[in-house]
Chains A and B, each alone.
Chain A
């Protein structure tokens, strides 16, 4: 029943967007949709018994547990902020002619639909259904990347669709393996995660390894994990910044969420001994590739995109440790990364508007007089950058610290390698800021760059998200801890 409420809100939003021609109205609808979703999700978290009974959910194919709700809460916060940010940002795109007025309706309809599909994905109990929604998120978000209709964008969107969808087909074959395994063991086959979790301990490890590896290929591509990460920097850098924030802050989580769900099944079998080292290896390789790509990077949005790749690697390493404490911090990291990354993309979006005539999305940035022209965005990048490289008191410091502490109980070598790679990634970000943000025009030359008047709607989300990060880092409420612990228990870690 509750899912019908989510669907109805989106249907109404879509109808209004289709009926109106005014940009502000379309944008307001998207903000309201995300806000109502946030309220609904918070209501479930506060007043309902989670996992929610299937009668209230309305279908046996869906369920609402703590992990799904956690992801939906993150998604609604990011979507609300991104929709507010888009108000000023999209107006800028319209003025400069980068976005055609005719595409506006398509843009906001895709936006509203994307949030619905993401929520349905997180609330799917049936893994095949989850797969379909995850696949739809790829198609819809690719539409949002290609909306600018520049050749670069179309290229990036097509690359994204092909790499993600081709890999996702492997994930589906993995699910068929899982279905067959459950059919052999239980008599009737099922892909309902809750049923699989009850019986996973009896599943043969050989089939579990095969199905996990196939599922991993699919969702690794979706979350930008090496060697399937090649689409990510292109797509995230070329998408409109409001969309980049969603791609990085929410859509990468869809992939990781899929991996976590199936990993929880593997965790109960002896296949874990084979799978865990594999995850750790791919995690470290992902961090490594991202770190070395960040070092020479001269384009801000690409740099931030590679940092997302790096963080997905950290999450994978944390998962591979397979202890309850490590999983707790992995979940914390997912939340912290989403918030930090969204704020970073918002800030880079402002700089992109400011200096857009000077660089295409591929060229090196030529950022000058940044503190005079865009002080908020500059500080947003610096503070967000400190947060993403894991400086205290920001939450990523704690997550990285505790994940590495847990990793130390498994292998000190791995800790050493990870630490070096994290330093390299931090160095890449620091070097970019130092070289670009210190460029100042000669005092006696007349200023040749007009300051871009940043609308308040583009500034507010950055301030809000950075403040939220600080609060989470300094005083994370006991209820939040309890919530994350519930997820760990439900995943049977």
Chain B
């Protein structure tokens, strides 16, 4: 049997891995690698779930690990990668408001603020629950920055997914949450991802296609020629 201190150490190392993946999602421009990093982030979460399970023995954590693996490591990344191939976008180089460097600096500042704010509310700064809360919420805010600073819908979706990973990370430290709810959240997530990516095909399709649509719905009326 592994000692409790060792497992806690492992969890802390996995926390660092999560932060690295989040930083990568914020800064990278290559879409395919964003998807892979997202899978990696989900895999790290599964690692944390398993480590927590060996600490607490709650069966819900095992179930979460399985559902997360199926949905976030296999189904969702596969789906997004397929859609990406269809719309043939490989790089997302356009940013609104924030450049990757500013985002990174901002997220570091955010983490510090959250650490201090939660330190006041949650007793026991050394507890794993506290760290889970700080990192979970930081991951959410970093995901949110991705959602609002990227222009492509498909990258926005990945930002949202990363946010949801933050919620899951936080939620794992409250292990009594019924499994059925975690399960329903995943279902909701899958529907949302499918819908937004399908819509993004509409948005990110070629210009020619756009014009066809605009004409069809009278949204692009060209001025009539005056004889």
Q: A-side interface residues toward B, CB under 8 Å?
A: 97-98, 126, 128-129, 132, 135-136, 139, 142-143, 146, 148-152, 154-155, 157-158, 161-162, 165-166, 169-170, 172-173, 176, 179-180, 183, 188-189, 191, 206-207, 210, 356-357, 360
Contacts and interface: CB of A to CB of B under 8 A. Distances in A.
B39 interface: no
Contacts of B49: none
B20 to A, nearest CB: 22
A151 B213 contact: yes
B137 interface: yes
Contacts of B136: 173
B196 A132 contact: no
Given A136-B188, A166-B144, A176-B177, 14 more contacts: A139-B188, A142-B195, A148-B217, A150-B214, A151-B202, A151-B214, A161-B192, A165-B192, A173-B136, A176-B174, A191-B177, A206-B121, A207-B121, A356-B218
Contacts of A188: 176
B184 interface: yes
B121 A210 contact: yes
B219 interface: yes
A146 B199 CA distance: 8
Contacts of B144: 166
Given A161-B196, A173-B140, A188-B176, A150 B171 contact: no
Contacts of A142: 195
A451 to B, nearest CB: 19
A148 B202 CA distance: 12
Given A151-B219, A155-B203, A161-B192, A166 B163 contact: yes
Kindly state the interface size class of chain B when it binds its partner.
35 or more
B218 to A, nearest CB: 6
B170 interface: yes
B210 A151 contact: yes
B161 to A, nearest CB: 11
Contact of A150 (B137, B176, B192, B217): B217
Interface in B134-152: 136-137, 140, 144, 147
B58 to A, nearest CB: 12
B226 interface: no
Closest 4 CB pairs of A and B: A150-B217, A128-B181, A154-B202, A132-B184
Interface of B: 120-121, 129, 136-137, 140, 144, 147, 153, 156, 160, 163-164, 166-167, 170-171, 174, 176-178, 181, 184-185, 188, 191-192, 195-196, 199-200, 202-203, 210, 213-214, 216-219
Contacts of A158: 153, 156, 196, 199-200, 203
A162 B167 contact: no
A215 to B, nearest CB: 13
Contact of A357 (B156, B163, B218): B218
Contact of A162 (B156, B202, B219): B156
B102 to A, nearest CB: 19
Given A139-B192, A142-B195, A161-B196, A189 B176 contact: yes
A155 B156 CA distance: 13
Nearest to A143: B195
Given A136-B191, A162-B160, A173 B167 contact: yes
Contact of B177 (A128, A146, A150): A128
Contacts of B163: 166, 169
Contacts of B176: 179, 183, 188-189
A102 B147 CA distance: 32
B202 to A, nearest CB: 5
Contacts of B199: 146, 154, 157-158
B196 A180 contact: no
A152 B203 CA distance: 9
